[in-house]
Amino acid sequence: MAYEPRGEHGDRGDRGDRGGPDGGHVKVRGRRPVTDYSATVTHWLRNRTANYKGGYTGEAERPSASYIVDMVPPAGRPTSAADTIPSKHLHSSLNKIKHPINVVRWTPEGRRLLTASTSGEFTLWNGTGFNFETIMQAHDSAIRALEYSHSDDWLISGDHDGLIKYWQPNFNNVQSIAAHSDPIRDLAFSPNDSKFVSASDDSTLKVFDFAMGQMESKLEGHGWDAKTVDWHPTKGLLVSGSKDHLVKLWDPRTSRCLTTLHGHKSTITKVMFEKVRGMCLATSARDQTARVFDLRMMRDICLLKGHEKDISTLTFHPIHPNLLTTGGLDGSLFHYLLDTPNPPPGQALTVAPYDSMDPTTTPAQSVWPTHKIPYAHDYAIWSLDWHPLGHILATGSNDRITRFWTRARPGDADVFQDRYHIGEAAAEAQGTWDRRGNRRQRQEEEQQEMEDEMDALVDQDAQGQINAGLPGIPGLPLGGGVPGLGAGGPIPPPILPGVGAGSGAPPPPLPFPLPGLNGAPPPPFPGLDPNNPPDPAQLLELMKKAGVPLPPPGALPPGLIPPPGGVPPPPPGGFGLPVPPPPIPPVDADKAESARRRAPLPSQEESLRQEQRQGKYTRAR
């Protein structure tokens, strides 16, 4: 764990008064903790040897702070999975506008974490400092699945409307496929990336040709929603889990179901092949258990227990094949070592099928978690993903927070007494967590994320155009440009003679000159005599007959220009001429580009007045 200087922190010692270059006050921001893995990787590269010589000749780690310099990445100790268990909380990242996080995926090079939310947005977080980088609107509905290709050249995403999109590494959307009519729950690439499979709530799996973007086959056999799917890393083998409690193995070439596994008693939430050796398959379900199947025996060999609530997701470690992590619907995070049963007191040690006399009939070995983080999240954990190096675990939850976890440093024993392990009340009683200080720290982190979002990359699609065009011109969309004027930016309202005076840059030329400006007449309205303008009542009748939408109260009817001397009083008919809007103040270009505009909330005044007429809401609170 290192620290990255933020703001003017590095210059604080040179200016005791914290004054800026112009004498003003400079806000000093604290240092952001970062996880720098380059030192451990360099240390391992300097001391590694061939595997038959042991693989590593450096100093072995011991539980003391002085051995921090001897830490090596998981790739330097592939047989020591216990040293990789992520028990330490690194950082909690959350957006300014918070939504539940459905999927988290590390980018192939491990520099950033990509999260997908129920709002259809992609968010990129820095993989070292965990700060916000950018956000973009990727889908119109909730994103349910993400998957990178094995070649690291493509990303596919599926949403709640059944749409699949292709993305390049720079998040350029190049293709959209209407794959299903129901929500897509999972996606997986074939080993050579030529095909991919999707699982949907319409109870089917579909295999698509990636290059053509067309469906090749449909796998039918589940009796209910297909919740998850995975493709074997090296074989032509598919596995799927459904709401019908069944796990099915498929041949993607013939679309035939090879076998069905009946190990669970509730909805299957996640299925995943083990990627290192490819011999095992892990499944989790809403029966509070997870199971590990051996593909060679086609039976379950491990029964993972310990969860008090249903299991929502799981994942294998990319380096250690025996390290399995599960996430629960109650926000708990459990880590299992599959070769270490670790039974709690009072539980008998069971025998693994491999060690029994009859492996085909011996029940699966019960395995309890090696490490528990019961309070990792406040609500269900929907997604887990390991960094490609295997040193950081990212979790996305329904509590709208993305959290990063890593192993504890040598000699760091206080990590097991934090609020994620023993709860907020117990941690506050022991003095390892301060509720007020945590609230202040959370506010500071949210402020930092907001500042990072203001300084981040701009999503071109999320920028809405300012509706400052000429209102009321028939045939032109609201807020669009006027033909012949271009669309370089928002159009300020015209300055009418005798009604206010704008300051600043002169307005752009209009498609027609106004009366009194160069003496040109206004454009004629269909059915009107320019030399004999009608009264407002006749104008409204003509607009109704012509099918022109009536202007809202306060808007200027098309073709009706007020006289240069000012605005006349309203006629007896009640149709008054509006007062032109005041000129819009100039907007800073940088702020206009970086700000993400959102629509204003609708006014509740009319509905409140209507309720008050009925005798409701009349007493002041």
| pLDDT score of 501 | 42
| pLDDT score of 442 | 67
Residue bearing tokens 């109704």: 544
Compute φ and ψ for 124, nearest 5 degrees.
Answer: -105, 130
Tokens, residue 621: 């609170």
Q: What is the mean pLDDT of residues 283-296?
A: 96
**Residue (of 281, 174, 176) closest to 235 by Cα position:** 281
Burial of 468 (0-12, 13-18, 19+ CB in 10 A): middle
How many CA atoms lie less than 13 Å away from 253 in the CB half-sphere?
3
Q: How far is CA 342 from the centre of its chain?
A: 36
Compute φ and ψ for 437, nearest 5 degrees.
Answer: -65, -35
| pLDDT score of 553 | 58
pLDDT, tens digit (0-9, with 9 covering 90-100), for 31-83: 566 778 888 999 999 999 888 888 888 888 888 999 999 999 999 999 999 99
Tokens, residue 349: 């040690």
How many CA atoms lie less than 13 Å away from 451 in the CB half-sphere?
10
Residue bearing tokens 């498609």: 511
Compute φ and ψ for 389, nearest 5 degrees.
Answer: -80, -15
Question: In whole angstroms, what is the distance from residue 329 CA to residue 308 CA?
Answer: 9
pLDDT band (50, 70, 90) for residue 443: confident
| pLDDT score of 177 | 94
| pLDDT score of 333 | 97
Question: In whole angstroms, what is the distance from residue 436 CA to residue 561 CA?
Answer: 61
Burial of 361 (0-12, 13-18, 19+ CB in 10 A): exposed
**Residues 385, 104: contact at Cβ < 8 Å?**
yes
Q: Hey, which bits of 353-401 come out as E strands?
A: 365-367, 371-373, 381-386, 392-397
Question: In whole angstroms, what is the distance from residue 438 CA to residue 617 CA?
Answer: 40
| From 119-123, 477-481, 503-507, the region with the lowest mean pLDDT | 477-481
Tokens, residue 222: 């589940």
Question: In whole angstroms, what is the distance from residue 609 CA to residue 540 CA?
Answer: 28
| From 299-303, 380-384, 430-434, 508-512, the region with the lowest mean pLDDT | 508-512
Question: In whole angstroms, what is the distance from residue 144 CA to residue 184 CA?
Answer: 6
List Cβ<8 Å contacts ≥24 apart for 444-448: 444/30, 445/92, 446/94, 446/96, 448/6, 448/29, 448/32, 448/131
**Residue (of 158, 222, 234) closest to 190 by Cα position:** 234
Tokens, residue 492: 């300020």
**Residue (of 242, 233, 237, 124) closest to 186 by Cα position:** 242
| pLDDT score of 469 | 39
Task: Flag whether the pTM goes above 0.75.
Answer: no
Residues of 136-159 as b/e, b for ≥16 C-beta within 10 angstroms?
bebbeebbbbbbbbeeeebbbbbb
| Beta sheet of 173-178, edge-to-edge order | 143-148, 155-159, 163-167, 173-178
Give percent of the chain above pLDDT 90: 55
Question: In whole angstroms, what is the distance from residue 491 CA to residue 509 CA?
Answer: 10
CA distances to 115, 139, 176, 244, 397 from 182, rounded to whole Å, are 22, 15, 16, 17, 23
Average pLDDT, the chain: 79
pLDDT, tens digit (0-9, with 9 covering 90-100), for 185-235: 999 999 999 999 999 999 999 999 999 999 999 999 999 999 999 999 999
More confident: 329 or 617? 329
Sign of the dihedral defined by the CA atoms of residues 433, 437, 443, 444, in that order: negative
Report the range out of 307-311, 442-446, 580-584 with the highest average pLDDT. Answer: 307-311
Q: What share of the chain is helix, strand, coil (3-state, %, to 5)?
A: 15, 30, 55
pLDDT beyond 80 at 326: yes
**Residues 301, 352: contact at Cβ < 8 Å?**
yes
More confident: 381 or 13? 381
Contacts of residue 619, defined as CB under 8 A and 6 or more positions apart, other chains included, come to none
More confident: 243 or 27? 243
pLDDT beyond 90 at 532: no
**In angstroms, how far is the first alpha carbon of the chain from the final one?**
52
More confident: 162 or 437? 162
Tokens, residue 424: 């907020």
**Residues 77, 433: contact at Cβ < 8 Å?**
no
pLDDT, tens digit (0-9, with 9 covering 90-100), for 367-380: 999 999 999 999 99
**Residue (of 338, 346, 345) closest to 366 by Cα position:** 338
pLDDT beyond 50 at 477: no
pLDDT band (50, 70, 90) for residue 434: confident
For 584, other C-beta atoms within 10 Å of its C-beta total 13
pLDDT beyond 90 at 474: no
**Residue (of 246, 271, 269, 268) closest to 259 by Cα position:** 246
